[in-house]
Structure 1
């Protein structure tokens, strides 16, 4: 009886609080998704994580190394390598007209981290390598291409529309009917995917 009573009244253990390093990494995800590499400062990341800047330096060494840690974490939890080909296009176009930005390691829109820092001279090398690793190369393999032209074309289209919508805020890419606009982009991507078959059989459309 005593054992049973003890079993029934013992509270469930609370989940462990995230470590300081985990809080720093989550804060860095949010900052790098909302700001470019150049605009992101370690003091802001430290404040969001509830630690001092010196601790961030001790944990990661520098802003560049922290950025690389964010990209490395993204490699473990994002990309399209594990996604079936038929699900990739809907996945990549789902957030294209969203005004929301990535907020942490488990957020599916962390492509924003790459987009934000594409043109930064320090970050562009790692960003390009990660874009290739997470998106272009897996797409190339799933499409069965010898080169990555179709995969790169798809990512160029999606990134370009995202930049024009979120950063330039052009009216033509800020549609009221986002479902219809997303469907148009979806069909454009599907046309790129189908283009290889048409190129190999040019008489098919005659």
Structure 2
């Protein structure tokens, strides 16, 4: 029995580097085509694997997208309990989760790397055409708020501003402000974006 010739072409079998190849292909696809413009089949072809392997390793296309962001934790899981509490008081609950994660030095480093990547064209596509669709808008729908497509980007702009000032630029007094004080300042405005009048 002869062995396969070196350089043999075809589908990549399940192997230790298969997951990494899928993630690499997914990051490239999502960065260039956004979430809606990328397909599991196309990503599988770029990675040299069968599409079934993507579902095996990652589950859904949304799960693959979140994995491709290389975040220290899945924000959908982190926010699940806060979202399950309903729209009333959601801003405070979500901000407390958010601050707990970002104030952890081990979690902050990879999150800051992602934020810095937003200033690259591919990073903008990942956030605008991916993260908003996969993470942010579904939160609004799960909360049951009206006009989530309008409200959630506005709410996200408030949180992104907080990230920039507190963690990236480290502007005082916000950078060293206790979490409870940040929540007290930001939660009412964020809650209005979620459930109050926008105009």
Q: Which residue of 2 aligns with 1:100?
A: 105
Of stretches 58-67 and 146-155 in structure 1, the one that deviates more from structure 2 is: 58-67
Q: Which residue of 1 aligns with 2:53?
A: none
Q: Which residue of 2 aligns with 1:78?
A: 75
1:166 aligns with 2:167: yes
Q: TM-score, normalised by structure 1?
A: 0.50
Q: For residues 93 and 169 of structure 1, what CA distance do their matches in structure 2 show?
A: 19
Kindly indicate whether the alpha-carbon contact (under 8 Å) linking 2:30 and 2:126 is maintained by their aligned counterparts in 1.
no
Pairing of 1:20-39 with structure 2 (within 5 A): 20-21=16-17
Shift, 1:149, TM fit: 2.2
Shift, 1:150, TM fit: 1.6
Q: Which residue of 2 aligns with 1:132?
A: 132
The alpha-carbon distance between structure 1 residues 63 and 91, as it changes in their structure 2 partners (threshold 3 A), is same
C-alpha deviations, 1:31-58, integer Å up to 9, x for none?
A: xxxxxxxxxxxxxxxxxxxxxxxxx6x6
Structure 2: segments with no counterpart, 5+ residues: 1-14, 32-57, 59-63
1:183 aligns with 2:184: yes
SS in 2 for 1:102: helix
Size of the alignment, in residue pairs?
A: 142
The alpha-carbon distance between structure 1 residues 130 and 112, as it changes in their structure 2 partners (threshold 3 A), is farther
The alpha-carbon distance between structure 1 residues 136 and 166, as it changes in their structure 2 partners (threshold 3 A), is same
Pairing of 1:15-94 with structure 2 (within 5 A): 20-21=16-17, 64-65=27-28, 71-73=65-67, 77-79=74-76, 83-84=83-84, 85-86=86-87, 88-89=90-91, 90-94=93-97
